[in-house]
Structure 1
Amino acid sequence: MLVYAGPDLRQVAGDVLLRAILRSDLAPVPQTVEIMVRDDPDFRAQWAVGQIIAAGRDGARFKIVKSGVDGEAGLIQDDRKLGAIAVTGLLESCAPIASPLQRAVIRQGATLGGIYRACGANVRIEQDFVVPRFCAFTGDVPSLSIPIALQEEGAAMTYKAGRLSFRRLADLSAQEPIAELPDATDRSEQSEFKEMLAVPFAFSAAPDGSIIFGRRESGRAAFYSPRTDQRVLNNLSAVLIRRRKLRAEFSGDIMAGDCLKVAGKSLIVITAAHVFDSTGTAPEQYSLYWLGEYVR
């Protein structure tokens, strides 16, 4: 995996880079990176909090939000103990979404992309839709408020090749798989009992005082959602449920929101972690996928 650092974003040498994990998620900050490098006092400044680094085949830029030095990282070279620096970075264009707002963002009948930008992001948006209302007050963290709006619309955020899209879960589920992976599952899970407890149906009161329900025929637990119409009540029960976690060959172009076929079944990538690791006996690269099924 290519990693770039320093004022002019030069490529980090292979003997300096110990580990890099580029993570893609269906989350308000859609990409993060975790990097470990050999400690060199002359270059510590480029790994400080607030510095910009780049990683991956697209050269996505990340803002370092956490940095630490381990003087005894267990690394040995020529009978010398070496330290390491470990940093965590958030996608630079979306990093403000993870910080408390300095002013309230309240919108009605606005696009989710416009709301996202109003919360501080600066990113190209490819697909978008309108949400009835959105509220995030001063001191609120938008990365906690935006998922609520997405859930009410039965949607998720995807980020690929520098472009952000807000897409319906139903559309993600309907897309064609971009790759087929062997059924070498590290872990799989299926539990209707857990689903009934974890994914409730919602109910509310209509303007005439009658009670309206989401998909209560599912047999799930229930919760009350005030001033919610039938469409949103139905969306509140539409989710991606994790079915598999597996390790595969390194494929840095597969991101969260893509569709993969495993054992003849199409599943949506909830999280993709692309890993380079040279801390073992030999360097290795691989990808980890958390895969989900659309349930409503």
Structure 2
Amino acid sequence: MRVMLSNGQMIGLDRFISGVNRFDCVPVPATLEFQVLLDDEMDKLLQENSTISIGDHYLELTIVKRAVKNTGVIKDDRLLTVGAYIAVLKGCESLIVPAKSAIFAEDTSIGACLRSGGSRLKVREDVPLVKYFCALGATPTYEIARMCGQEACVIHCDAQGKIIVKRLSQIMNAEHTLELEKSSIQWIENQAQINHSIPTYQTINADGSTVEGSLKSGVKTSFYPNLDARRVKNLSTVLVTRGTAIRSYSPSLIAGDVILCAGKKYVIVTVAHRFDTGILGAPSVSATKIWLAEVVSV
């Protein structure tokens, strides 16, 4: 795993301990959790709000959490100090803290909502939105995720960090980037989870008529006020995880990529790239785990 500091210096393998780079189909689509052995110079460059870059495309991330502790181990007459960090895609840091002011917009888009908190995220593909409201003190990521549910869409990013907002009805249209054998996937079959995860709905139209989904026993049902029939129906279209796979370290895989297995397409809803050097005595690890999902409507 290649991590570059803001001064252009790479963190060497003699300093890098471990890292997990995740890509998800969520409002904060890229994160990195990593640990390094610190010296005074590196500690100054790895402070909260510092920028780092990872990968071949130098994806920029901002450190949002920092913890430093002494290991109690002495090497070359120096006490080893470990720094642990969490970094998010640059521009997303304002989305994970309570909003400093209320935001209300009509006839807007998901991408505009992401930027409404002051971030400078670049949006490559977008989806229109009827109405968006984030109250003072609310966390924007939660509100944006709710809007994605109402529009049956997901958020992910490309290798350069540009935001892609795509409807679930179109997410499988892309060409597959990888083909996997069916035996290499740990399949998940859990109907109870689906019953809890995919809501059916009840709401009232502007004309006073009632709109209901396929109400039946054993399935989660909720009342959604002030939503039209189109948006409540969208709530019953979601990505459902169907399996996981662990393979050799493949940092080019990102969330939103399409995988082909036994002639059927699945989308990567989450991918985690783990790299441990083992410099503190633990085994070295380099592997990628992917979570495969398909679009389900009830």
Question: Is TM more than 0.5 here?
Answer: yes
Give the deviation of 1:186 after TM superposition. 6.5
Q: How far 1:235 moved relative to its partner?
A: 0.4
What secondary structure, in the 3-state scheme, does the structure 2 residue paired with 1:252 have? coil
Mapped to 2, the partners of 1:153 and 1:253 lie a distance apart of 29
CA distance in 2, matches of 1:232, 1:219: 23
Match of 1:114 among 89, 112, 115: 112
Give the match for residue 290 of structure 1.
Answer: 291
Cα distance in structure 2, aligned partners of 1:83 and 1:188: 41
Query: Does 1:272 pair with 2:271?
Result: yes
Matched-pair contact (CA < 8 Å) for 2:127–2:167: no
> Is the counterpart of residue 9 in structure 1 residue 5 in structure 2?
no
Report the CA distance shift for 1:189/1:77 in structure 2 as closer, same or farther (over 3 A): farther
Partners of 1:20 and 1:35 within 8 A in 2: yes
CA pair 172-201 structure 1, distance change in 2 beyond 3 A: same
Count of matched residue positions in the alignment of Structure 1 and Structure 2: 294
Matches within 5 A, 1:147-296: 147-160=145-158, 161-183=160-182, 185=184, 187-216=186-215, 220-279=219-278, 283-296=284-297
Q: Which structure 1 segments of 5+ residues have no match?
A: none
- Structure 1 residues 95-134: aligned runs within 5 Å: 95-134=93-132
Q: Secondary structure of 1:48's match?
A: coil
What is the identity, as a one-letter code, of the residue corresponding to 2:125? Q
CA distance in 1, matches of 2:261, 2:233: 28
Consecutive unaligned residues in structure 2, runs of 5 or more = none
Partner SS state of residue 251, structure 1: coil
Q: Distance in 2 between matches of 1:218 and 1:294?
A: 23
Instruction: Give yes or no for contact 2:27–2:156 (8 Å, CA) kept in 1.
Output: no
* Equivalent AA in structure 2 for residue 290 of structure 1: W
Per the TM alignment, residue 46 of structure 1 is displaced from its structure 2 partner at its CA by 1.7
Looking at structure 1, the residues matched to 282 and 207 of structure 2 have their Cα atoms a distance apart, in angstroms, of 69
How large is the RMSD of aligned CA atoms in angstroms?
A: 2.3
CA distance in 1, matches of 2:220, 2:256: 28
Instruction: State, as a whole percentage, how many aligned pairs show the same letter.
Output: 26
Structure-2 separation of matches of 1:10 and 1:95? 23
Greater CA drift, 33-42 or 79-88: 79-88
CA distance in 1, matches of 2:157, 2:169: 17
CA–CA separation in structure 2 for the residues paired with 1:99 and 1:54: 22
Question: Which secondary structure does the structure 2 equivalent of 1:290 belong to?
Answer: strand
Task: Write out aligned runs for 1:67-106 (5 A).
Answer: 67-72=66-71, 82-106=80-104
Name the residue aligned to 1:66.
65
SS at match of 1:49: coil
AA at the equivalent of 2:112: G
Structure 2 counterpart of 1:144, from 142, 154, 169: 142
Structure 2 residue identity aligned to 1:198:
S
Shift of 1:227: 2.0
Say if 1:222 and 1:2 are closer, same or farther in 2 by CA, change over 3 A. same
Deviations 1:137-184 (A, max 9, x none): 221111110001110000001100231111001111333321112345
What one-letter code is carried by the residue in structure 2 that aligns with 1:152?
A: Q
1:10 alignment partner, SS class: coil
What TM-score do you get using the length of structure 1 for normalisation?
0.91
Separation in structure 1 between the aligned mates of residue 178 and residue 121 of structure 2, nearest angstrom = 27
How far did 1:185 drift?
4.6
With structure 2 as the length reference, what TM-score do the two structures score?
Answer: 0.90
Shift of 1:81: 6.9
Against the structure 1 CA distance between its residues 210 and 175, is the aligned structure 2 distance closer, same or farther, given a 3 Å change threshold?
A: same
- Residue 63 of structure 2 aligns to a residue whose secondary structure is strand
